[in-house]
Amino acid sequence: MTSVERYEKALGVLDTYIRDHNLRHTLERERLLKIIAEVNAPVFTVHDIDAKRKDAHISVPTLYNSLNLFVSARILYKLERTHGVTQEQYKWALDAKNSMRVICTRCGREAVFTDKALLRIIQERKYANFVPAHFSLYVYGTCKTCRRLLIQRNNNERGREKLKVEN
């Protein structure tokens, strides 16, 4: 994902989140999102974006409020502070893909599907002692081709039995 693609995707997620939670749009947040999208590293800290934050005239409280909002909206993950790390690290959550697939148990064919209602249910579900990151959902069944073959085979068998009875 390029930084522009990432920014646009994140902005879309943010828009939805803001609408759903009756928050207001602020230019600072959008500017900050753009700054973060341009960080070319798998993880970043507040220190990594500090110079650009100052250039964009974004205050420190706004920075932290926005980062927390991005985490709530699942645009970013906040990583646990490990030993020796003095600043919180953030990672893009949008790079990890949720996937929903249908799989044919006869031929193994896979297809991707999207269901926004289902996505929302899974993302908003609370788990005891667990913070979800992303998910994979598989729906098993029979594809159209295999179903057609199955029906054809059943019809043929029925046809043969009919012939046997007639003979």
Where on the chain is the footprint of Zn ion (CB under 5 A)?
Answer: 104, 106-107, 109, 143, 146
Question: Would you say 91 or 109 has its CB closer to Zn ion?
Answer: 109
Question: Would you say 94 or 104 has its CB closer to Zn ion?
Answer: 104
Of the candidates 49, 5, 56, 7, the residue with the CA atom closest to the CA atom of residue 27:
56
Read off the tokens for 78.
């906040």
Question: Would you say 13 or 100 has its CB closer to Zn ion?
Answer: 100
d(CA 15, CA 33): 12
d(CA 46, CA 48): 5
Sign for the CA dihedral angle at 36, 38, 41, 46 comes to negative
Q: How far is the CB of 111 from Zn ion (least distance, A)?
A: 10
d(CA 28, CA 116): 28
Question: Would you say 39 or 149 has its CB closer to Zn ion?
Answer: 149
DSSP assigned state of 130:
B
